[in-house]
A and B are shown apart, each in its own frame.
Chain A
Amino acid sequence: MVSLSTIFHRSGSSRFFFQGSVAWIRWLYVAGILLLVVGMIWGLFFAPADRLQGESARIMFVHVPAAHLSQLVYLAIAAAGVVWLVWRMKLVDICMTALAPIGCALTGLALASGAIWGIPTWGTGWVWDARLTSTLVLFFLYIGLIALRGALAGNQRAAMAVSILALVGAVNIRIIKYSVDWFATLHQPGSITLGGPPAMAPAFLWPLAVNVLGFHALVAGAALAAMRAELVQRDARTDWVRSVLNVGPKQAP
């Protein structure tokens, strides 16, 4: 019987993570692809067309999961920043490094899919609306995190700087949301909220839920895979990487 604290300490070990994450990645990818295949076929072919928007409403099966995850990933990075500042765990820093480009791509996907939907529906791909503006600012916050990481030499310094920036950004993104709400909002309010029945017909809600779950699984799998790559790259000269990759022992200089 393995105690809880053993599990906690072992999960912070690079080698344990590298070997244990293989199965997780495999199953997360399988689950994500299956869910997305089911969800997309359901959403694109079997769900009814929207009464007002027609077929174009179907883009929400991509747009909603991407927009939702773009915010969730930023929150995860900020939470990882807190954990790093308190415990200085190396894997947490690697997690922040791996998540930033994924979050950036999801934010870009949310903006692009929103614009594609907006052209037939709103008559314009871009308006300076509260949600759109704050998503665009989130996109720039992600780019800032990636650029700061790239510009700083030394993993410790970069980790601390990125943690601080992620925290400042997380406080700021809330204030940005409130501040841009001063402008008139064109974007419809969220249809699904915690606490309260969803303002969406079940015919759309179920395929949407399947797609959201599928995106979650794919993003988690991609994050773990990116973490593995980053870990091997950082520890390339250590013995454990040489032994798990079968490169042979370190050569004497």
Chain B
Amino acid sequence: MMIWLSMQRDFCLAIRQASDTLMPAVFFLLLVTILSIGTGFSMHENSISSIGAVWVVALFATVLGMDSMFRRDHDDGTLDQFLLHAEPLALCVLARVAAFWSISVLPVVALSPIAAWMMGLQSGLVQSLLVSLLLGTPVLALLGAIGSALVLEVHRSAALLALLVLPLFVPVTVLGVSVAASSVVGQPTAPLILWMIVLLLGTMTLSPFATAAALRASTEY
């Protein structure tokens, strides 16, 4: 019950602060533009590197919003209520991450076909890119939750957060790019997609507990 209320509140706040909510999506398109300029408009010549570029840019857009995942709740005291509440903290964390993903990351995923099209990816490959991003970005959000809980008490934490979580993003990035890349060379993508589901389920099971412990570390001492 409390979980739904918490998510409802997050969505409500997201609609009221529309300019903050749209920032990752705008940032995503901006990065795509800069990347295309920076590579001398040569991205469209190689499908695999344009897939990799879309993935990395989506990853950066996710990291951008991550810093504030628990910050607002911490500042206005909501987090203390979560800590005191009878509901397990891990469940509250999961709800928060789900809301964060739908609000800040889903728009980026939704824009990724446009970005892929702008980078000249063949339309047949967009589907596997979209699947890999839909399965991969929740993992990014769940791992990012651990990091943003750890740096909750750190002043100016954005750079530290990126340093902590980017190494953890390696496996899911490798798998995500491989899914899209194997569809470029015509190999079956199903086994890799199953591996991504394994990674998502594993992260979904373990990360809320690590995040909850990190939140306690940040607030109790």
Contact = CB atoms under 8 A, between A and B. Distances in A.
Contact of B171 (A160, A164, A179): A179
Given A151-B157, A182-B178, A140 B163 contact: yes
B153 to A, nearest CB: 7
Given A161-B214, A169-B167, A152 B174 contact: no
A165 B171 contact: no
Interface residues on A, range: 20 to 34
A122 to B, nearest CB: 22
B146 A168 contact: yes
A167 B217 contact: no
Contact of A168 (B210, B216, B217): B210
Interface string B71-83: 0000000000000
B111 interface: no
B168 interface: yes
A172 B167 contact: yes
Contacts of B174: 179-180, 182-183
Interface string B151-178: 1011001001001101110110011001
B46 interface: no
Contacts of B13: none
Majority secondary structure of chain B interface residues (helix, strand, loop or mixed): helix
Interface residues on B, range: 20 to 34
Contacts of A85: 213
Contacts of B213: 85, 160, 164
Contact of B150 (A153, A161, A172, A182): A161
Contacts of A238: none
B167 A165 contact: no
Nearest to A153: B153
A60 interface: no
Given A147-B163, A160-B217, A168-B146, A175 B171 contact: yes
B168 A172 contact: yes
A40 B105 CA distance: 54
Contacts of A225: none
A137 B217 contact: no
Contacts of B216: 160
B170 A144 contact: no
21 contacts: A85-B213, A137-B170, A143-B163, A144-B163, A147-B160, A147-B163, A148-B151, A148-B160, A148-B164, A154-B221, A160-B221, A164-B146, A164-B214, A168-B146, A168-B168, A168-B210, A169-B167, A171-B206, A179-B170, A179-B175, A182-B174
